[in-house]
């Protein structure tokens, strides 16, 4: 984990110091970012995606749900801490309550009794907390193995790693095996969504970048994103001349059921996705585009279905 973090920080320093700027003020490091995006995608296509497909084919769905619930439950503690740091005391207390209920009566979090009881699920990280405190995102950057980020979110990664309860699990071999299973579970949960993105996006890099930035802004504002400007009102990665698609509110996970990737049902039904749905599906892809994603999301990665690859707000 520490070596991956060092690699990410070195890549960030190289990107900030040596890349030419582009016309997009949010993405001045586009040349470097596209290279890293391609690298991460190759790692996914060669190693992670096939392993996730085998994982989904072999394990019964109830086992996958239990695994997702277990790691999602661990993430509630860090989410609660960040909610309190953001001044959302009630949400923080709720998060700690979820963790207590699921860890005891839910058999170490394997069963999500809190959602069955209608207790809302949140997902916060220290990058969102910095955003709440007024820290701007800085330039967009694609980190090797870790995927999409910003300067602010990258600076928050060390604390996010520290806030991951699983990172303290001993012995080390058990922790490493669990991290691998966690990653496969997160990737398997968004196989359909990532396949749709690959087939639908005109420019997958732009699609993922725009979706990530919009989604992060929405999460920092607790879903109350600023009014979209007319020139920015198209779905991420789509031609702006094609017209705008209105953004729709996000829906909460139904009680007692693991959430599929947000927007998954309408995407799979063949409907044109809204901006919100596209953002959620693309963020799922962002958060599992690399072999270290689950570590970043703290539940999860990325993040991220809950199940856990796409976190709830």
Residue 157 pLDDT level (bands cut at 50, 70, 90): very high
Q: Hey, where are the domains in the chain?
A: 2-297
Integer Cα distance of 12 and 14 in angstroms: 5
In tens, the pLDDT along 100-113 reads 999 999 999 999 99
Tell which residue, 44, 105, 114, has the closest CA to residue 75.
Answer: 114
| Percentage of the residues of the chain whose pLDDT score is greater than 70 | 64
Torsion of CA 111, 114, 120, 122, to 10 degrees: -50
Integer Cα distance of 76 and 190 in angstroms: 21
pTM recorded for the entire structure: 0.69
In tens, the pLDDT along 199-251 reads 776 799 999 999 999 999 999 999 875 544 444 444 454 444 444 444 443 44
* Per-residue pLDDT at 23: 75
Q: CB–CB of 103/115 below 8 Å?
A: no
Q: CB–CB of 232/26 below 8 Å?
A: no
């Amino acid at each position: 984990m520490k070596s991956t973090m060092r690699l990410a920080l070195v890549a960030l320093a190289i990107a900030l110091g040596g890349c030419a700027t582009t016309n997009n003020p949010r993405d001045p490091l586009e040349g470097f970012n596209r290279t890293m995006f391609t690298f991460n995608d190759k790692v996914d296509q060669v190693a992670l995606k096939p392993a996730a497909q085998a994982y989904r084919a072999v394990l019964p769905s109830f086992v996958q749900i239990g695994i997702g619930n277990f790691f999602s439950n661990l993430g509630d503690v860090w989410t609660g801490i960040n909610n309190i740091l953001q001044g959302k005391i009630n949400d923080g207390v709720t998060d700690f309550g979820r963790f207590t209920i699921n860890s005891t009566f839910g058999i170490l979090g394997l069963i999500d009794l809190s959602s069955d009881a209608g207790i809302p699920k949140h997902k916060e990280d220290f990058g969102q907390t910095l955003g709440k405190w007024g820290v701007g995102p800085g330039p967009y950057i694609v980190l090797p193995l870790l995927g999409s980020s910003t300067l602010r979110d990258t600076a928050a990664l060390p604390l996010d790693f520290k806030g991951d309860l699983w990172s303290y699990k001993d012995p080390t071999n058990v922790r490493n095996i669990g991290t691998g299973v966690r990653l496969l579970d997160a990737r398997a949960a968004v196989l359909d969504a990532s396949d749709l993105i690959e087939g639908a996006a005109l420019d997958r890099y732009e699609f993922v970048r725009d979706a990530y930035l919009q989604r992060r802004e929405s999460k920092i504002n607790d879903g109350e994103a600023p009014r979209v400007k007319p020139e920015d009102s198209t779905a991420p990665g789509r031609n702006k001349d094609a017209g705008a698609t209105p953004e729709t509110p996000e829906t909460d996970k139904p009680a007692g059921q693991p959430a599929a990737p947000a927007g998954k049902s309408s995407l799979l039904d063949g409907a044109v996705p809204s901006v919100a749905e596209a953002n959620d599906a693309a963020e799922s892809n962002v958060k599992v585009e690399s072999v270290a994603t689950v570590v970043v999301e703290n539940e999860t990665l990325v993040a991220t279905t809950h199940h856990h690859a796409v976190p709830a707000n």
